[in-house]
């Protein structure tokens, strides 16, 4: 067999194996490519709508400024989240989320406060959990200030967390990558922090491990850029 035919034959075998081990799955956040193997690898590859980028999916149906309802699909039945509207101007400065469990109430300031109250059993659960604390609509409720960012990809009226698609590609950024481990999920995504200021943020690559009960461990944080030509249009809510 000639070298040319050998190459064609090997390429054909590779393509068949790849096709047989690839599956497409949809969830609430985006369409994901799932590569089946020793470890499932999820690569979120399509754009999300602006309501989901903001964090509105965590508000109950009919949410308004007087609502006291906030949702998280992975929350256990024994735990309840309640949203308390602020009494300041602006109200966001004093808004908070309260966890109720076994007759005890405490303010939720980050993932540590929900440990044991969530059941994270899939990549979708892991990314939902992280986005609960890092969406534009919710970020002011928690102590650690960071926002997950996305390429705009044609999303209309998207502000704060949407990056120009050309700049996104030039920096070599990508949508979240989630690896399924034995007792949790390894998540890589890109975020901004209000460093030095909320209107002049810095972009980081973040890698965390989310276990099944809600513990989040920072494995790696890599500085990407704080150059204004890339961060222009990215910012945190003004009431922070």
Which residues 6+ apart lie within 8 Å of 177 measured at CB? 41, 42, 43, 44, 187, 188, 189
Residue with tokens 């700049």: 167
**What pLDDT band is residue 75 in, cutting at 50, 70 and 90?**
very high
Q: Residue 224 above 70 pLDDT?
A: yes
How do the domains of the chain map onto residue ranges?
27-56+119-231
| CA neighbor of 123 nearest in space, from 206, 192, 35, 16 | 35
For residue 154, the Cα-to-chain-centroid distance in whole angstroms is 19
**What pLDDT band is residue 14 in, cutting at 50, 70 and 90?**
very low
The stretch 161-174 carries a mean pLDDT of 93
Please give the share of the chain, as a percent, with pLDDT higher than 90: 53
Q: Are strands 22-26 and 79-84 parallel, antiparallel or unpaired?
A: unpaired
Least confident of 27-31, 88-92, 213-217: 27-31
At 124-154, the pLDDT tens digits run: 999 999 999 999 888 989 999 999 998 887 7
The mean predicted confidence, pLDDT, of the chain is 80
Q: What is the CB-side half-sphere exposure of residue 60 using CA atoms within 13 A?
A: 10
**What's the confidence (pLDDT) of residue 208?**
98
Q: Residue 66 above 60 pLDDT?
A: no
**What's the confidence (pLDDT) of residue 18?**
35
Calpha distance 189→208 (Å, rounded): 9
| CA neighbor of 139 nearest in space, from 117, 161, 122 | 161
**What's the confidence (pLDDT) of residue 159?**
76
Q: What tokens were used for 137?
A: 């609509």
At 88-117, the pLDDT tens digits run: 888 888 889 999 999 999 999 999 999 999
Of 55 and 67, the structure prediction assigns the larger pLDDT to 55
Which residues 6+ apart lie within 8 Å of 16 measured at CB? none
Calpha distance 108→112 (Å, rounded): 8
**Strand, coil or helix: what is 216?**
strand
Residue with tokens 């944080």: 221
pTM score, two decimals?
0.79
Q: What tokens were used for 221?
A: 């944080």
| CA neighbor of 203 nearest in space, from 235, 158, 239 | 235
At 180-208, the pLDDT tens digits run: 999 999 999 999 999 999 999 999 999 99
**What's the confidence (pLDDT) of residue 54?**
67
**What's the confidence (pLDDT) of residue 216?**
98
Please give the share of the chain, as a percent, with pLDDT higher than 70: 69
Calpha distance 14→34 (Å, rounded): 17
206 burial via Cβ count (<10 Å: 0-12, 13-18, 19+): buried
**What's the confidence (pLDDT) of residue 40?**
57
**What's the confidence (pLDDT) of residue 240?**
53
Q: Residue 34 above 90 pLDDT?
A: no
**What's the confidence (pLDDT) of residue 116?**
97
């Amino acid at each position: 067999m000639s070298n040319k035919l050998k190459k064609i034959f090997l390429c054909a075998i590779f393509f068949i194996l790849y096709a047989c081990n690839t599956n497409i799955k949809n969830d609430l956040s985006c369409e994901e490519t799932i590569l089946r193997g020793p470890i499932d690898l999820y690569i979120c590859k399509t754009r999300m709508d602006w309501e989901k980028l903001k964090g509105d999916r965590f508000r109950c149906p009919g949410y308004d400024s007087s609502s006291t309802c906030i949702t998280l699909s992975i929350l256990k039945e024994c735990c309840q989240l309640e949203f308390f509207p602020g009494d300041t101007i602006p109200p966001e400065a004093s808004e908070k989320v309260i966890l109720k469990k076994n007759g005890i109430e405490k303010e939720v300031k980050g993932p540590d406060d929900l440990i044991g109250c969530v059941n994270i059993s899939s990549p979708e659960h892991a990314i939902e959990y992280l986005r609960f604390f890092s969406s534009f609509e919710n970020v002011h409720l928690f102590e650690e200030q960071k926002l997950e960012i996305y390429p705009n990809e044609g999303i209309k009226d998207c502000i704060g967390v949407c990056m120009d698609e050309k700049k996104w590609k030039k920096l070599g950024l990508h949508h979240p990558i989630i690896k399924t481990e034995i007792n949790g999920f390894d998540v890589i995504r890109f975020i901004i922090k209000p460093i030095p200021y909320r209107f002049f943020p810095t972009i980081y690559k973040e890698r965390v491990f989310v276990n099944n009960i809600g513990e989040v461990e920072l494995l790696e944080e890599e500085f990407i850029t704080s150059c204004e030509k890339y961060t222009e249009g990215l910012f945190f809510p003004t009431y922070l």
